Amino acid sequence: MRIIVVGAGSIGAHVAYRLQEQGAEVVLVESGIPGGGTSSSSFAWLSSFPQMSWTEEPGRKSLRQTVHSRFHKLTEEIGGDWVQWVGTLTWGTPGEREALREAARSCSDQGVGIQLFDAATVRSRMPGLRVEDDDEFVFEPDSGWIDAPALIERLLHRFQGLGGKLRCRTRVAALLRAGEAVSGVLTETGDTIEADAVVNAAGSWGSHLAALAETALPLDLVPGLMVYTNPVDPALLLGCVLDSPTWLLRPDPSGGIAIHWRGEGMTSVHGGNGWSASRILADIAQTVPALDGVGVARTSVGIRPIPPGGPIVGELPWVPGLYHVLSHGGIGWGPVWGDLAAKELLHGETVAELKAARPERFFLQPPELGRFADDAEQQPLGSAR
């Protein structure tokens, strides 16, 4: 089976590798360089706490339970040191204490290994962390972070070693059609690549690719700020991921610290923008004194594609041959989407856990009026204005 995967970020790399590994002839098309988009500007966190305490659609909940085991298996399969299982320390303010405890109970009941710490325990284990006496903490040992560029490089090395073809700096200008079915792509340089199926793994550009098939798929694009510090003394590094109410912090392969600013109020799950990288760093240094005076090496903004209602996985029945894999958390969920895409595209399976992720959900309900700036223009003819 000939398959074109569009987008060589985390999701595209996982899907292309798994399809090629299971016998497909895959061409991976990337408009820039592999991993050069949001995948290189992501905190790339792996954690089951507090995520397993969330109320979710049952299929997605079931798949979430497999994320860490898939990463452990992938490490054995492809080798490399791209994942760091260093643990995560999460804490909240006194006002969040009960919510933290309830989330801890829920995760523990579902088999997540966690430990509850008080401030004295944290000070003894992490003397470089300044905490308040009434703070409470949850530590999850089986969690950590991913060096996403290194993982993508590893996947694509294996992908090409298996005969997969990678075409960088190749932008898709149009989708080829054979009747209603998508049968390949036309590039901006006029090259035609034919295939039995095309996978839309274009991330924040996923709506644009879908539009080439006259398909309207919505994505909320939420910018996320990452700050990377200059190298610091390894003895000062806390080692694990720190998950605070307003920021996330982890070691970075550069020898510095990678910081994701959450802030507050941008969306229900993602915070507002920080004023400046230096101001963010100064704020965090109040809790991590070792960062006081450490300069900012660089910043980046990842444009995170967040499909309303959760991931979009599968093809529309009336547009066969165009299989979408669009998801927030593309690094953490990459192995899941690679495995399931191979099951459905190559082996003809219908994965039951993906029922709520199907793209046709956007076409089976009336549109919501009043969401956009042109609200008045959305009113039915003859209605009161």
Judge if 197 and 311 occupy the same domain: yes
pTM: 0.91
127 with 96, same domain: the answer is: yes
Whether residue 127 sits in one domain with residue 37:
no
Inside any domain, residue 70: no
- Could you give the 3-state DSSP secondary structure of residue 136? strand
Residue 64 within any structural domain of the chain: no
Predicted pLDDT at 384:
44
Beta pairing class for 181-187 and 192-194: antiparallel
230 and 293 inside one domain: yes
The verdict on residue 321 lying in a domain is yes
Contact in structure between 312 and 279 (CB atoms under 8 Å): no
| pLDDT, tens digit, 9 for 90 and up, residues 255-271 | 999 999 876 543 445 55
Average pLDDT over residues 232-247: 81
Domain count, the chain: 2
Which pLDDT score, from 0 to 100, does residue 370 have?
A: 53
- Domain containing residue 34: CATH number: 3.50.50.60
Give yes or no: residues 89 and 208 share one domain: no
Domain boundary among 258, 280, 303: 303
pLDDT score for 283: 87
Both 158 and 297 in a single domain? no
Query: Which pLDDT score, from 0 to 100, does residue 159 have?
Result: 98
Q: What is the pLDDT confidence band of residue 341, given thresholds at 50, 70 and 90?
A: very high
Question: Mean pLDDT, to the nearest integer, of 11-28?
Answer: 98
What's the rounded Cα separation, in Å, for the pair 385 and 377?
10
Of how many residues is the chain composed? 385
Residues 23 and 165 in one domain: yes
242 and 117 both lie in a single domain? yes
Q: Are residues 134 and 234 in the same domain?
A: yes
163-167, 236-240, 325-329: segment of lowest average pLDDT = 236-240
| Residue 113, pLDDT above cutoff 60 | yes
Select from 303, 329, 347 the last residue of a domain.
Answer: 303
Q: How far is CA 289 from CA 63, 117, 173, 238, 286, in A?
A: 39, 21, 50, 11, 6
At 268-322, the pLDDT tens digits run: 455 556 678 888 888 889 899 889 889 999 999 999 999 999 999 999 999 999 9
* Res 91: pLDDT: 87
Residues 261 and 249 in one domain: yes
CATH of the domain at 259: 3.30.9.10
Average pLDDT over all residues of the chain: 90
Distance CA 198, CA 182 (A): 7
- pLDDT for residue 75: 96
Residue 25 placed within a domain: yes
Digit-coded pLDDT (tens) for 50-104: 999 999 999 999 999 999 999 999 999 999 999 999 999 998 766 778 889 999 9
Range of the domain at 191: 2-43+149-219+307-363
Tell how many helices (H) and how many strands (E) occur in the chain: 10, 20
Query: Widest CA span of the chain, in angstroms?
Result: 71
Residue 380, in any domain of the structure: no
Residue 378, pLDDT > 50, answer: no
77 located within any domain: no
Close Cβ partners of 111 (under 8 Å, ≥ 6 residues apart):
none
Confidence band of 192 (pLDDT split at 50, 70, 90): very high
pLDDT at 129 over 60: yes
Claim to verify: residue 106 and residue 229 sit in the same structural domain: yes
Per-residue pLDDT of 159-184, as tens digits, reads 999 999 999 999 999 999 999 999 99
**β-pairing, 2-6 with 25-29?**
parallel
In a domain, 115, yes or no: yes
Pair of tokens at residue 302: 């990842």
Among the three residues 303, 322, 350, which one is the final residue of a domain in this structure?
Answer: 303
**Per-residue pLDDT, 57:** 93
CA distances from 113 to 26, 91, 104, 139 (A): 39, 16, 10, 9
pLDDT of 368 > 80? The answer is: no
Q: What percent of the chain has pLDDT over 70?
A: 89
Amino acid at site 110: Q
- Verify that 318 and 292 share a domain, yes or no: no
- Answer whether residue 55 is part of any domain: no
Using pLDDT thresholds of 50, 70 and 90, give the confidence band for residue 23. very high
